[in-house]
Amino acid sequence: MRELLPEAGEGLTAEALVARLALENGRREGRPRVVATDRRGQTASTATRPLRIDSVAPEVAFKVSGSRKRLKAIKVAVRAADGSLEAPSGSGIKTVRIDWGDKTRVVSGRMASHRYAKGGKYTIRVSATDAAGNAVAVTDRITVKKK
């Protein structure tokens, strides 16, 4: 068993200390138990429980389809996976958001459609966040015709 002491004033939680120790040892999984000892020698400990450290951002790809004309529907289909699109792992996708780039409301979900009120160039931004808080965003620039 290794003793891990925080620097004075760090105020780290037990979970943060265990995660730091695991990362220092190159481990991503384990069954740690935290034992705390106060100045009088009294101890308290946690039960062992699974710990998985997910520090890898999700992977995201999306496809734009439909008419790229003003007031016509444009569709976005998103593929998002925690880990990689080929071999998902990690904590799982928590949110997927689509920003149409025209100052309209951002939508949540893996599929959505939108109609642009004006022609012009727009940047569609798709972001995904996993349950561990890791995030990624990808963009695609499109041109919407006026007629």
Domain boundary assignment for the chain? 14-52, 59-144
Report the distance separating Cα 31 and Cα 19, nearest Å: 11
CA dist 81 to 56, 62, 113, 147, Å? 11, 12, 21, 37
Assess if CATH 2.60.40.10 describes domain 59-144: yes
- Which single residue is written with the structure tokens 């949110």? 95
Where does the pLDDT of residue 71 fall: very low under 50, low under 70, confident under 90, or very high at 90 and above?
very high
Q: Enter the pTM of the model.
A: 0.67
* pLDDT mean over 12-32: 60
- pLDDT for 95: 94
Nearest to 107 by CA among 78, 144, 134: 78
Nearest to 138 by CA among 120, 125, 129, 128: 125
pLDDT at 19 over 70: no
pLDDT tens-digit profile of 117-133? Answer: 999 999 999 999 988 88
What is the average pLDDT score of the chain? 81
Where does the pLDDT of residue 8 fall: very low under 50, low under 70, confident under 90, or very high at 90 and above?
very low
